[in-house]
């Protein structure tokens, strides 16, 4: 059963030199806190918002291009979601957030404030990306990670569970490195220390170096990892204070 309909109200926007017509939606039935006849946000086509489950676009949010919102995901506020983005699960995108490219926002993840998630990035789990933070390229933010302030997580960085990245100097990524030509991410953690994500390893810097010595001994690869770790220690700023809010409100 269809859960929304077009109201007949439209607006034209310009994106990459092309004029796109957005359509205002209205709930056609009651579902998950949304009442029949309640006005929603703006979508380009019905492909942008699933009729199944409880996903919803509301407020002045725009979802267009090949972007999709499904599952129990919510997109609201003045958010702009475009490109080939997929917002699903119980994810929330709100405020003035901008999400575009081929990104994924899933699980219980929230993207809000003036945050941007672009490229092929993924925000998943219980992660929160907010403030003026940017997640770009092939970067992942997962678990219980918090990325905010003017932080930028980019390239092949992976910022997992215990990350507390509030500043551009809170994360350091290097690679290809080691016997598998992998990428390693060093980041400020919730204990105001440095933690590491490299392949299947995720843990404190000291644990990482111990694993390196155990696995690689005195080899060239061990020296690579140790040198990069020293650079990360020199570059990551552990003094910056955390933002006042880590949550946001719906």
Percent residues over pLDDT 90 in the chain = 89
Element (H, E) at 56: strand 56-57
Which one, of 160, 190, 154, lies nearest residue 172 by Cα?
154
Domain range annotation of the chain? 68-235
CB 62 within 8 A of CB 86: no
Hey, what CATH class is 68-235 in? mainly beta
Residue predicted with more confidence, 52 or 23: 23
Radius of gyration of the chain (CA): 20
Let me know: does 139 contact 118? Beta carbons within 8 Å. no
Nearest residue to 197 via CA among 182, 178, 214, 184: 184
Over range 19-48, report the average pLDDT: 96
pLDDT of residue 1: 80
Query: How does pLDDT run across 201-232, given as a tens digit for each residue?
Result: 999 999 999 999 998 999 999 999 999 999 99
Banded model confidence at residue 239, pLDDT cuts 50, 70, 90: confident
Is the distance from CB of 19 to CB of 13 less than 8 angstroms?
yes
**pLDDT tens digit string along 135-179?**
999 999 999 999 999 999 999 999 999 999 999 999 999 999 988
This prediction has a pTM of 0.93
CA dist., res. 10 & res. 201, Å (int)? 50
Q: What's the length of the chain?
A: 250
Mean pLDDT, the chain, whole residue set: 94
Q: How confident is the model at residue 243 (pLDDT cuts 50, 70, 90)?
A: low
pLDDT at 244 exceeding the cut of 60: no
- Residue 248 pLDDT class (50, 70, 90 cuts): low
* Helix pair angle (205-216, 220-235), 10° resolution: 170
Q: Find the mean pLDDT for residues 95-100.
A: 98
Q: How confident is the model at residue 61 (pLDDT cuts 50, 70, 90)?
A: very high
- Whether 246 has a pLDDT exceeding 70, the answer reads no
Cis ω for the linkage preceding 54 (within 30 of 0): no
């Amino acid at each position: 059963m269809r859960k929304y309909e077009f109201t007949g109200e439209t607006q034209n926007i310009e994106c990459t030199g092309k004029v796109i017509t957005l359509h205002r939606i209205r709930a056609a039935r009651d579902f998950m806190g949304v009442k029949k006849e309640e006005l929603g946000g703006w979508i380009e086509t019905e492909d942008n918002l699933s009729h199944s489950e409880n996903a919803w676009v509301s407020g002045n949010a725009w979802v267009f291009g090949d972007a999709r919102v499904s599952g129990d995901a919510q997109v609201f506020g003045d958010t702009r979601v475009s490109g080939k983005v997929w917002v699903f699960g119980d994810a929330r995108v709100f405020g003035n957030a901008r999400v575009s490219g081929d990104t994924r926002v899933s699980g219980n993840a929230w993207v809000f404030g003036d945050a941007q998630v672009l490229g092929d990035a993924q925000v998943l789990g219980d992660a929160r990306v907010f403030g003026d933070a940017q997640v770009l390229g092939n970067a992942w933010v997962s678990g219980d990670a918090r990325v905010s302030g003017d932080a930028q997580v980019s390239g092949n960085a992976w910022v997992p569970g215990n990350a507390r990245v509030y500043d551009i100097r809170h994360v350091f990524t290097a690679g290809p490195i080691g016997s598998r030509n992998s990428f390693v991410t060093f980041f400020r953690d919730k204990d105001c220390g440095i933690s590491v994500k490299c392949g299947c390893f995720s843990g404190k810097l000291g644990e990482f170096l111990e694993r390196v010595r155990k696995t690689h001994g005195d080899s060239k690869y061990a020296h690579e990892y140790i040198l990069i770790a020293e650079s990360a220690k020199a570059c990551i700023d552990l003094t910056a204070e955390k933002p006042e809010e880590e949550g946001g409100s719906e």
